[in-house]
Amino acid sequence: MRVLVSNIMMLNERDRFDAALRQKGLEPLWPEVDQFMSEADCLAHAGTMDGWLAGDDSITRKVIEACLPRLKVISKWGTGVDSIDLAAARELGVPVTNSPGAFRDAVSEYAIGLLLGASRRIVATDRGIRAGRWPKGRYIGLTGKTMGIVGYGAIGQGVGQRARGLGMRVVAHDPFMATSPDDAPLLDLATLLAEADVITLCCNQTAENRHMLNAAAFAAMRQDVMIVNVARGGLIDESALLAALESGKVAAAGLDVFEAEPLAPDHPLLGFDNVVVSSHNANSTIQAIEAVHANTLANLYRHLGL
């Protein structure tokens, strides 16, 4: 049986996972991947694999149909499955597995790090000192502020736990919850946007919530609001964010994800010292990555009968 390995995390350790898969009697296929595979890239490998260790690849209905009848399982590395047509996979009988909740601590820690880095200008201060300056800025603190979390699953709850540790009030918006497991007040999105001093995105991206934070949403927010995105780049209309940064409406932003990745070196977001950017890498703790490696392989093996 052959397995397509297209997720960046295993591609980065090709020798290790090539050996692990071969030990199970599998033949791994190693495509050339930048960040993820487009639909056309995926179609180029259709019909060649029994299992798929997938990344954020564009696995559409067309791709799944082209992979049948050979494909037996899509084992997604990580938690997010928004790049996979799940309805088509169900209809066509292809199991899709992932590692839900695996990045709760890793991503929620990182979200707070991005917030502190942006709000207190830690990165800008570091750069200033390295350039021979000794900056003494005054910035907005977090104690007593309201943290609004959009998407209150495992990662959102982890952010809430850490925000309370900083003395913040936590509110959340999650249309899939009737009550929150930790008693955080659940608000409609409009109310959260109006009340929150910090808005942290921890939700999946869907066709319905793309550009959730658009010009109208920024207009509805508090003055000096701070934005953190550790979810998906398409949740924010970057042109609207840029306008809100330029006007001073947004006081700080910490962004791990973007509409187009990798971020272009001349992207206008890089011109703001109150913006901290990262490389879609919020899950990057040794513990979390190793746990997801193990679970992703276990999901694959189970569905291949190994």
Q: Where are the domains of the chain?
A: 2-100+286-303, 104-277
8 near 33, Cβ under 8 Å?
yes
The continuous run of DSSP H or E covering 42 comes out as helix 39-43
At 244, the pLDDT band (50, 70, 90 cuts) reads very high
The whole-number pLDDT of residue 74 equals 98
At 79, the pLDDT band (50, 70, 90 cuts) reads confident
The whole-number pLDDT of residue 78 equals 92
Fill in the DSSP letter of residue 145: P
Predicted TM-score of the model (pTM): 0.85
Question: Which has the closest alpha carbon to 28: 42, 40, 39, 14?
Answer: 14
C-alpha to C-alpha distance for 233 and 231, rounded to whole angstroms: 7
Segment 194-214 shows an average pLDDT of 95
Segment 206-234 shows an average pLDDT of 97
Joined together, the tokens standing for residue 170 give 């936590």
281 near 101, Cβ under 8 Å?
no
303 near 22, Cβ under 8 Å?
no
Pairing type for strands 73-76 and 96-97 reads parallel
Residue 303 annotated to the active site: no
The whole-number pLDDT of residue 80 equals 84
pLDDT of 258 > 90? The answer is yes
Question: Which has the closest alpha carbon to 229: 247, 206, 212?
Answer: 212
Segment 204-213 shows an average pLDDT of 93
Strand partners, 225: 250
Candidate list 162, 173, 232, 293, residue with the active-site label:
232
Give the 3-state DSSP-derived string for 160-227, with helices as H, strands as E and coil as C.
Answer: HHHHHHCCCEEEEECCCCCCCCCCCCECCHHHHHHHCCEEEECCCCCCCCCCCECHHHHHHCCCCEEE
What fold does the segment set 2-100+286-303 form as a domain? Rossmann fold (3.40.50)
The whole-number pLDDT of residue 82 equals 87
Residue 22 annotated to the active site: no
Segment 24-44 shows an average pLDDT of 95
pLDDT, tens digit (0-9, with 9 covering 90-100), for 94-132 = 999 999 989 999 999 999 999 999 999 999 999 999 999
C-alpha to C-alpha distance for 107 and 103, rounded to whole angstroms: 6
63 near 92, Cβ under 8 Å?
no
The continuous run of DSSP H or E covering 124 comes out as helix 122-130
At 46, the pLDDT band (50, 70, 90 cuts) reads very high
The overall average pLDDT reported for the chain is 96
At 35, the pLDDT band (50, 70, 90 cuts) reads confident
The CATH architecture of the domain made up of 104-277 is 3-Layer(aba) Sandwich (3.40)
pLDDT of 264 > 90? The answer is yes
Q: Which residue has the tokens 């601590």?
A: 105
Residue 302 annotated to the active site: no
197 near 222, Cβ under 8 Å?
yes
The whole-number pLDDT of residue 76 equals 98
pLDDT, tens digit (0-9, with 9 covering 90-100), for 144-153 = 999 999 999 9
Candidate list 173, 280, 293, 303, residue with the active-site label:
280
**2-100+286-303 and 104-277 agree in CATH topology:** yes
At 27, the pLDDT band (50, 70, 90 cuts) reads very high
How many beta carbons lie within 10 A of that of residue 27, not counting itself? 13
Candidate list 109, 164, 261, 267, residue with the active-site label:
261
The whole-number pLDDT of residue 38 equals 96
